[in-house]
Structure 1
Amino acid sequence: MVRLPLTAEEVERGQRLGAMLRRARGRRSMLEIALEAQVSPETLRKIESGRVATPAFQTIAAIADVLGLSLDEVWAGISQPESIAAPA
Structure 2
Amino acid sequence: MVRLPLTPAELERGQRLGALLRRARGERSMLEIALDARVSPETLRKIESGRVATPAFPTIAAIADVLGLSLDAVWAEISRPDGGVEPARSAREARARLVS
Instruction: Report the TM-score when normalising by structure 1.
Output: 0.94
| Match of residue 77 from structure 1 | 77
Q: Which amino acid aligns with 2:16?
A: R
| Match of residue 4 from structure 1 | 4
Query: Structure 1: which 4+ aligned runs deviate by more than 4 Å?
Result: none
- Give the Cα–Cα distance (whole angstroms) in 1 for the partners of residues 43 and 74 of structure 2: 18
Matched pairs, number: 86
Unpaired segments ≥5 residues, structure 1 = none
Unpaired segments ≥5 residues, structure 2 = 90-100
Instruction: Report the TM-score when normalising by structure 2.
Output: 0.83
The alignment partner of 1:22 has SS state of helix
| Match of residue 24 from structure 2 | 24
- Give the Cα–Cα distance (whole angstroms) in 2 for the partners of residues 42 and 77 of structure 1: 24
Residue 59 of structure 1 pairs with residue 59 of structure 2: yes
- Give the superposition deviation at 1:51: 0.3
- Give the Cα–Cα distance (whole angstroms) in 1 for the partners of residues 7 and 59 of structure 2: 21
Q: Higher helix proportion, which one?
A: 1
- Give the Cα–Cα distance (whole angstroms) in 2 for the partners of residues 73 and 5 of structure 1: 27
- After superposition, the C-alpha distances for 1:29-77 in whole angstroms (9 at most, x for unaligned) are 0000000000000000000000000000000000000000000110011
The alignment partner of 1:69 has SS state of coil
The alignment partner of 2:24 has SS state of helix
Percent identical pairs in the alignment equals 80
Q: Which amino acid aligns with 2:49?
A: S
RMSD: 1.1
